[in-house]
Amino acid sequence: MPRPSPIAMFAIAAALAATVAGCSSSTSASTSTSTAAGSTITYWASDQGSSIADDHTVLNPELAKFTKQTGIKVKLEVIGWPDLLNRITAATASGQGPDVVNIGNTWSASLQATGALLPWSSQNFSAIGGESKFVSSAVGSTGAAGKPPAAVPLYSVAYALYYNKALFQQAGIAGPPVTWADLIADGKKLTHGSVYGLALEAGSIPENIHNAFIFAQQHGCSFFSPSGAPTYTLPGCVQGVQQFVNLMGTDKIVSPGDAEYDQNQSVSDFASGKAAMLMWQAAGANLKAHGMSTSQYGVAPVPVQSGVPGQGTSVDSMVAGINMAIFKDTHNLAAAEKFVQFMTSPAEQTILSKEYGSIPPVSAAQQNAAFATPELTVLKNVLATSAVAMPQVAGESQFEQLVGTAVKNLFADAVSGPVSAQTVEQQLSSAQQQMTG
Amino acid sequence: MHSLGGKVAARRAPMAPPRSFIWTRRIVLTVLTIFALLPLYVMVSSSLKPLQDVTGTFRWIPSPITFSSYIQMWQTVPLAQYFVNSLIVCTCAAALSVLVATFAAYAVSRYRFRGRRVFTLVVLSTQMFPGILFLLPLFLIFVSIGNATGITLLGSRTGLIITYLTFSLPFSIWLLVGYFDSIPRGLDEAAWVDGCGPLRALFRVVIPAAIPGIITVAIYAFMTAWGEVLFASVMTNDTTRTLAVGLRDYSTQNDVYWNQIMAASIVVSIPVVVGFLLMQRFLVTGLTAGSVK
Amino acid sequence: MAPASTPTPAPVHPARTRARAGGGGHRATARRRGPGRLRRIGLPYLLLLPALLFELLVHLVPMVVGVLISFKALTQLYLTQWVHAPWAGLGNYRIVVDFNGAIGQALLHSFVVTCAFTAIAVSLSWLFGCAAAILAQDSFRGRGLLRAIFLTPYALPAYTSVITWAFMFQYNNGLINYVLHNELGITSSPTFWLLGDNSFVALVTVSVWRNWPFAFLVVMAGLQSIPRELYEAAAIDGAGVRQQIRLITMPSLRPVNQVLVLVLFLWTFNDFTTPYVLFGNGAPPPADVISMHIYDASFLTWNFGEGSAMSVLLLLFLLVVSGGYLLFTSRRRNA
């Protein structure tokens, strides 16, 4: 007869509890324990090496060094680029995040607006050695003007033009182009059969937005007004973007297949000789992994209209790089600051930037001979003289996403022919209208 | 008329179908076979090619054939760890889903209680929730629980298990209700007469009779959890990452290791494909039982 | 008196009680076990409790929170204290349905694309599934193997099969272009499948490839419950194969098909994994289905208030369509 015995009810509860307990893991939360040597901090690193496993190989010895020096343990997690911003967003919303995190430096202003990152007041700066130890151009990309930086520079890179020496020689071109007219002319000479003059990562939103920004700057437009309002449809921006996409559409020096590229296939194409030129951030490490030796390619600044890189309309790169930030909610500020100090010390900066092929934004480390290679010399120069920071406004990540996608869509049009200014303006206008907050 | 249910054996041989039917059948089934097999062939053949072949012009037959990607794939990405994570999460989610669904289906099937219809409707309607709507809120709720009770749900396998078991609950309950409904109450009552309570009747009589349904539900829950990408990408960290997210790491800064992606895909798919093919017969029975009302 | 002392806790129609075997004995038992009655009433609720708790935790409460967020202006400025984000009333909704504005227009476009995608993909999946199930009904040599081959695409995890299709659809080295352009020479130059207008075709192809086995499985199940005698009788009456299908198979399958089409519709409309793995971040406009669109509009631009508003509208739409569909089909059944 129906008789729910207490034993049965207990059995239900116990079965559930036991299964849940048996299935649960003992992974700890990502907040750290309280202050003192012997404490642990959590560090989310970005994927800087050739793979995530590679990053672990590079960072673990350095972290061991830090633990030996200070007694503070560092729990490392390396997060791939597709997931990093999502994870940071989730950490921001939940208040449960790491102590220290790498961020793309262009994200600084947007993340700053969330209020989740520790502002680097002069007091905090002095804990790691002072703001002056960093190169000023790098500090310019750490947050909105007028507010304390939301992060400190960790690695610096810039865009440069890489060109295949053998292909240039075959086509009878003496040296790298300095104006766009030169580049197009050279590109046309180099494009024949299945080889193209220039490789572009035209399906990648970050690559598109960086390039679009540089081209727009060269036409005198910076996408945002001084007060921070979006101005995507100004003639300068429209012309800049149009010029960029028509490298494929009109000039036809870019392979239409590049419109699909968003996993660094353009670098592979350059390395294998399918393209003669490449505009990229510090491609040296990547090219080496593809088996291309430094004698096979040359590095030059990206062309500008006037032929001489400089400021204003002669900029040829955005200030690219990685910043390091501390979450405001950290339970162990002292330990986190010690770690930042360690990572931005000249010794560590030299080691890490050598591994990653970047330039250390710490002045003392930049003098090291390791950063005097032809490629890095060009990059250093660009950073010092002709690079400009991306807009440091709260809506910056929205800007990257919307305009980057717009340019990606314009390339989808460019595969079949020239793209008109009207089409460009339509896409940019639509992107601008979707900006909120 | 429909209650005759499936497999009525014909007393005499069926009349031979006309030639046109046979030819239609041959053509249609062949086309569908090619359609189904094409990507599978690409997966297998690409996994046997060296990297430069798989990133170059496509060729039908891999030559040379190499198994290197099956070896390298364990190193490029901590595949074994992701495998273990996925196994733990999916097995537990499946086991719990079966348990919870069995209890709920038993209640819905055997009892007429107030709120029965509302419960069924609510549970079924959760099928139409777009995942993106409750991704962030679920995340925030897990955080609140973590702060309030100290149980870590975020970044732990527990949180993912709870999420996955709930995802498969509606379909599991629906299927099991169908199965239980088709088990005559006479069996239950015979057990009652023998002195069993309803719960003991459930375990002694109903569940053994519904084993095919239970296996189906378990495998379905496992499959659903094994293939989920969106929630896994937000709710896991380095140590608890599952295969769904981990396979993305094969596209690195330098190269997309397509051959290893294909090899890993094959290895990762074997458990669910084998499980599904074994249980699909029970799924058919379950669906038939469910629609027989 | 009899209905009041039935063993089932809730008020039950007297007819049902009498129809149950052994009801008399239970009535007698019930009268003797007064205090146990509360526990008996409680049992079904207790059995439901775990399911209810999990549904509340994972589906229902987050849903409510999601709806709440849609009434707030939750952008990155308030992410850290989302509870304190300012109320926006219907502001988010007004923005997303303003079809003159860019956001509303994009949403409308995405909605239309999704409807077209779902209609075509579900129709093809159902058609292939039905055709294969009917054609593979009789046993012939290799039928078991064929069924296994057909079902495998459905069993493969999405992130493995869709990535393979992305590999095949590549412009430069993909199999599809290789066959169409290099081998068969159908197209004069390789075509783009992952961007441009053909991306819609690619998306439909992958969706149908993944889902038609499920239709195949379900229709196979439904076919098993059709008695052979019906076919034999019809054959004796002179009906050809096509007529048999039209007059016997299809009507018998109607209840199965109704559920099948609804399930396929919901799955396809809400499908996030397929476009996400096929296209990555930023779907091409011709294939911008609504699940991806909402993800782009909320997670990638940090506009969670608007993203939630879009999700709520999507949910309402699906509820209305499903409700209407069920009403329509049940009325047809009763008619």
Give per-residue pLDDT as tens, B125-156. Answer: 887 777 877 888 888 888 888 878 877 787 78
Query: In degrees, to the nearest 5, what angle opens at C-alpha C266 toward C-alphas C261 and C268?
Result: 90
CA dihedral C49, C53, C54, C57 (to 10 degrees): 170
In a domain? residue B81: yes
CB C290 within 8 A of CB C110: yes
> Under a CB-based contact definition with an 8 Å cutoff, are residues A282 and A157 in contact?
yes
Average pLDDT over residues A369-379: 91
Burial class (CB in 10 A: 0-12, 13-18, 19+), A329: middle
Q: What is the pLDDT of residue A171?
A: 93
Domain positions in chain C are 1-33, 101-302
Q: How many residues does chain C have?
A: 335
Q: Give C333: exposed, middle or buried? Use CB within 10 Å, 0-12, 13-18, 19+.
A: exposed
SS3 A318: strand
Q: Find out whether C214 and B281 touch, Cβ atoms under 8 Å.
A: no
Residue with the larger pLDDT of the pair B230 and B80 = B80
Tell me the CB-side half-sphere exposure of residue A42, using CA atoms within 13 A.
22
Query: Bigger pLDDT: B93 or A4?
Result: B93
pLDDT at residue A67 above 90? yes
Closest to C192 measured CA to CA, from C213, C208, C176, C212 = C176
Put simply, whether B212 touches A (Cβ < 8 Å) is no
B218/B195: higher pLDDT: B218
Q: In chain B, which residue's Cα lies nearest the Cα of A286?
A: B254
CA-to-CA separations, B14 to B10, B11, C234, in angstroms, rounded: 7, 9, 12
Residue B40 lies in a domain: no
Residue B115: which CATH number?
1.10.3720.10
Is residue B161 within 8 angstroms of chain A, CB to CB? yes
Amino acid at the residue C82: W
**Cβ–Cβ of B78/A94 closer than 8 Å?**
no
The whole-angstrom distance between A308's CA and the closest CA on chain B is 32
pLDDT (0 to 100) of residue B201: 78
Can you tell me the distance from the alpha carbon of B146 to that of A211, in angstroms, rounded to the nearest whole number? 43
Inter-chain CB proximity A5 and B197 less than 8 Å: yes
Q: In the predicted model, is pLDDT for residue A99 greater than 80?
A: yes
Predicted pLDDT at B13: 46
What is the Cα–Cα distance from A136 to A121, expressed in whole angstroms? 16
When computed from its CA atoms, the radius of gyration of chain B, rounded to whole angstroms, is: 24
At A29, give phi and psi (nearest 5°).
-70, 170
The mean predicted confidence, pLDDT, of chain A is 88
User: Is pLDDT larger for residue A341 or for residue C232?
Assistant: A341
B175 occurs within a structural domain: yes
Token pair 């993912």 in the structure block, residue = B160
| Residue B128 covered by a domain | yes
**Residues A402-424, mean pLDDT to the nearest whole number:** 94
Q: How confident is the model at residue A398 (pLDDT cuts 50, 70, 90)?
A: confident
> What pLDDT score does B229 carry?
87
Q: How many CB atoms lie within 10 A of CB B9?
A: 5
How far, in Å, CA of A157 to CA of A280, rounded?
10
> Which residue does chain A place closest to C299, by CA atoms?
A86
Q: What is the pLDDT of residues A256-286, one digit of tens each?
A: 999 999 888 999 999 999 999 999 998 988 8
Taking residues A209-221, what's their average pLDDT? 95
Substitution target in C49, C70, C135 with the highest count of B β-carbons within 10 Å is C135
CA nearest neighbour of C311 among C283, C268, C269: C269
| Predicted pLDDT at B289 | 60
Nearest residue of B to residue C47 by CA position?
A: B103
List, as ranges, residues 252-271 from A with C-beta within 8 Å of B. Answer: 263-265, 267-268
In this structure, chain A runs to a length of 437
**Which stretches of chain C drop beneath a pLDDT of 70?**
1-41, 333-335
CA–CA separation, A33 and A330 (whole Å) = 10
Contact state of A12 with C50 under an 8 Å Cβ cutoff: yes
Interface of C with B in 91-130 (CB under 8 A): 128
- For residue B227, tell me if it sits in a domain: yes
Going from the N-terminus, what domains does chain A have, and what CATH number goes with each?
40-157+319-378 (3.40.190.10), 159-318+395-433 (3.40.190.10)
Percent of residues, chain A, with pLDDT higher than 90: 69
User: Rounded mean pLDDT of chain B?
Assistant: 83
Q: What percent of chain B has pLDDT over 70?
A: 91
Pairing verdict, β A40-46 and A73-79? parallel
Q: ipTM value of the model?
A: 0.85
Strand order in the sheet with A40-46: A73-79, A40-46, A100-104, A320-326, A152-157
**B225 in Cβ contact with B94 (< 8 Å):** yes
Name the residue facing C54 among B6, B131, B165 (closest C-beta): B165
CATH of domain C101-302: 1.10.3720.10
Give the closest of B233, B252, B254 to A83, CB-based: B233
Can you give the pLDDT at residue C289? 95
Q: Which candidate from A16, A92, A434 shows the least CB-CB separation from C80? A: A92
Q: Which of A75-89, A242-256, B262-276 comes out lowest in average pLDDT?
A: A75-89
User: How confident is the model at residue A124, as a pLDDT?
Assistant: 93
State residue A300's pLDDT score.
95
What's the pLDDT at C40? 66
Q: Tell me: the pLDDT tens digits for B159-197?
A: 999 999 999 998 889 888 888 888 888 888 888 788 777
- Predicted local distance difference test score (pLDDT) of residue C8: 35
**CA-wise closest residue to B174 among B219, B120, B116:** B120
Virtual torsion, Cα B114, B118, B119, B124, nearest 10 deg: 160
Those chains having 3 or more beta-carbon pairs within 8 angstroms of chain A are: B, C
User: Is the CB of A8 less than 8 angstroms away from the CB of B237?
Assistant: no
Give me the phi and psi of A103, to 5 degrees please.
-130, 150
Average pLDDT over residues A69-94: 86
Q: Do A203 and C29 touch (CB under 8 A)?
A: no
Distant-in-sequence, close-in-space partners of A22: CB < 8 Å, separation ≥ 6: B92
User: Does some domain include residue B35?
Assistant: no
Which residues is B256 bridged to in the sheet?
B251
As to burial, measured by CB atoms within 10 angstroms (0-12 exposed, 13-18 middle, 19+ buried), residue A227 is: exposed
Tens digit of pLDDT for each residue in A280-314? 998 988 899 889 999 999 999 999 988 899 998 99
pLDDT at residue A26, rounded to an integer: 37
Token pair listed for A214: 């540089």
Cα–Cα dist A407/A404, whole Å: 5
Cross-strand partners of A42: A75
DSSP H helices in A301-420:
333-343, 346-356, 363-366, 374-381, 396-414
Domain count of the fold of chain B:
1
CA torsion, ordered C137, C140, C146, C150, to nearest 10 deg: -10
Tokens 């921006």, residue located: A237
Residues C27/C12, Cβ–Cβ less than 8 Å: no
Range of the domain at B270: 76-291
Report d(CA A345, CA A365) in Å as an integer.
8
Q: CB neighbours of A238 closer than 8 A, spacing ≥ 6? A: A421, A424, A425, A428
Nearest Cα residue in chain A from C23: A1
Kindly report whether the global pTM for this prediction surpasses the value 0.80: yes
Q: Where are the beta strands (DSSP E) in A229-331?
A: 275-281, 297-300, 317-318, 320-326
Neighbours of A175 (CB within 10 A): 11
What pLDDT, on the 0 to 100 scale, is given for residue A4? Answer: 43
**Which token pair is B6?**
């499936």
Contacts of C65 in chain A (CB under 8 A): none
Query: What subunits make at least 3 CB pairs under 8 angstroms with B?
Result: A, C
Q: So what's the pLDDT on residue B130?
A: 79
Kindly determine whether residue A405 and residue C282, on different chains, have CB atoms separated by under 8 Å: yes
Query: Between C246 and A437, where is the model more confident?
Result: C246
Residue B111 within a domain:
yes
* DSSP string for C246-302: IIIIHHHHHHHHHHHHHHHHHHHHH--HHHHHHH-SS--GGG--HHHHHHIIIIITT
* Cα dihedral sign, A351-A354-A358-A363: positive
